[in-house]
Structure 1
Amino acid sequence: MSDITPPGPEDYLAHLASDSARFVEVLRDTAPDAPVPSCPGWTTDDLLFHLAEVQRFWATVVGERLQTGEQAEAVTTERPEGRDTLLALFETSTHQLQSALRTTPPETPVWSWADEQTAAFSYRRQAHEALVHRIDAELTAGVDRRPVDRRFAADGVVEAIDVMYGEPQAWLEFRPEPGGVVGFVADDVGGRWVRAVGRAVGTSASGRAIDWRCFDHAAADAVPTVVVRGTAADLDCWLWNRPTVGPVTTEGDPSVLAAVRAVVEDGIQ
């Protein structure tokens, strides 16, 4: 929960546009082979292609109203050679994504890999994707990081713990860590989100064994045994394994804290 009202569709579109523009602005004059400090093993051009590919993928999913994972798997983007063609690909991809979202009401049925099967998923997910990689771009270019809107950052915390790292599907068994309750606290927005930490275990329809470290919703009266505290923007970065601007403090049961760190350290690019 937070004292701040979550962003709406127009807010997500504005953040997507702003952070995508900043992303390409700071990478345009950065050496193609410069390392991305927050994504080990990546170069500037790897980062540039990654976001171009992601945005083109979701532009197609939303724009063509794809309904199944099989349809989505057929969407591919070949990586072009050369900086100029990469920049052109990104500019085209981000324009296509923003246009697709602007012409698709959030409630429109559209496939996603999450439980949310409407375009609303892509409004939110792609805005936060652009934010995280905008920060990667600024770190790579060695320029000042633009501040993150507090309301958007608070939403990013919730998206990270509930979508990227949480809410295992119903066919998975959630096995909580003993005493595993974590509270994420962002005092700058009056935010406090309490979740259970553990593993989701099961077998997929294809027969693949799943054993996934994750968060899940805790009981209403659950008392955290670990507290992770910082500003909303810093908590968002911490959850994405990105450097924070200010301190993020952790306190509580060492074994539960280790479980929380294990979820985050599994990593998401």
Structure 2
Amino acid sequence: MTEHLHFSTLLRMIDERSAAFRSAVAAAPDLGADVPSCPGWTLYDLANHLSEGDRFWAHIVRDTAPGDERPTKDGLAAPRDREALQAWLADSTEQLLTALREAGPDRGCWAWWEPLASPHTVAAAARRRVPESMIHTYDAQLASGAPQELPPTEAADAVEEFLATVCTVTAPWPGEPATMDYHATGAGSWRQTLDAAGSRFTRLSATEPAPDEPTAAVHGTASEIALLMYMRIPADSLRVEGDAGLIQRLQEWD
């Protein structure tokens, strides 16, 4: 992957992953089913969380500007009746999509991340919601007993989006300087650099070797690497070269 996905593609992906989430909820034995990847949560808790996030970000893209104080959520809880919940989930996603379409990709808005590799724009907010919907769809599928591999295009973009939004920070890396390479089969490669200046990433060339050996490198499909980043699967389920302990140190880094 060499370019960011088009805004309309991001909106389509949110819509598709949200529909897949509703399908997983419909397939689950009941709303009280445990979500193995979210300890202590039931499927209802997960559905409430995702719908709350959709409504929250709809408000953000409609009503906020960069630098605003953190907005508050509406505090509304999703209904516990399964049929009503499905309608609530669909309406929550439609509120988000409508807000995104009406605002347009270039409008500025509040965001919680440092605006270094991921700006405080509606397009970046839409890009952030794709893995939110996708990963929580995987969670819901686990609860229903039928987890599926993440869609490849969404998963590849989720890897880079995670590096840009969650991992690009100016907080000093507490350990020795290190580099972590991520190689997603057929989808791209990235290097995360960690030092006293914080964390940042670069894309690695598909045709030229990396400038030097990384501290560690992880190899897998885009789906596997995205699930690893979101701590849905263990590192030992992928091929890791070099200092495998770096993955745990990254996951534990505040």
Pairing of 1:85-234 with structure 2 (within 5 A) = 85-114=84-113, 115=115, 116-145=119-148, 147-149=150-152, 151-164=153-166, 166-169=167-170, 172=171, 174-175=172-173, 177-189=175-187, 191-197=188-194, 215-217=199-201, 221-234=211-224
SS in 1 for 2:48: helix
- Partners of 1:179 and 1:68 in 2: CA distance: 31
Asked if 1:242 corresponds to 2:232, the answer is yes
Instruction: Check conservation: 1:55, 1:94, Cα contact below 8 A.
Output: yes
Measure, in 1, the Cα distance between the counterparts of 2:195 and 2:245: 11
| Cα contact 2:108–2:120 (8 A) shared by 1 | yes
Which residue does 2:246 correspond to in 1?
259
Q: Following the alignment from structure 2 to structure 1, what is the Cα–Cα distance between the partners of residues 158 and 124?
A: 13
CA distance in 1, matches of 2:253, 2:93: 28
Aligned to 1:60: 59
Deviation at 1:168, TM superposition (A): 1.1
1:121-169 Cα distance to aligned partner (Å, 9 max, x none): 11100111111111111111112515512x32221111122312x1114
- The 5 A counterparts of 1:11-90 are 11-30=9-28, 31-70=30-69, 72-84=70-82, 85-90=84-89
Q: Give 1:118 shift.
A: 1.2
TM-score, structure 1 as length reference: 0.79
Please state how far the C-alpha of 1:6 moved relative to its aligned partner.
3.4
Q: Does the 8 A contact of 1:109 with 1:119 survive in 2?
A: yes
Report if aligned partners of 1:48, 1:87 keep a CA contact under 8 Å in 2: no
Note the residue ranges of structure 1 that are not aligned, 5 or more in a row: 201-213
Kindly indicate whether the alpha-carbon contact (under 8 Å) linking 1:61 and 1:110 is maintained by their aligned counterparts in 2.
yes
Q: How high is the sequence identity, in percent, across the aligned residues?
A: 28
**CA deviation vs aligned residue, 1:213-268 (integer Å, no higher than 9, x gap):** x74347x9453021111011111111111138x95111213xxx32322222569x
| Residues matched between the structures, number | 241
Instruction: Confirm or deny: 8 A CA contact 1:52 1:93 kept in the other structure.
Output: yes
TM superposition score normalised by structure 2: 0.84
The answer to whether the Cα contact below 8 Å between 1:181 and 1:222 also exists between their aligned partners in 2 is no
Once residues 74 and 148 of structure 1 are traced to their aligned partners in structure 2, the CA distance between those partners, rounded to angstroms, is 32
Would the aligned equivalents of 1:38 and 1:242 in 2 still touch at CA under 8 Å? Answer: yes
- Whichever structure has more strand as a proportion of its residues is 1
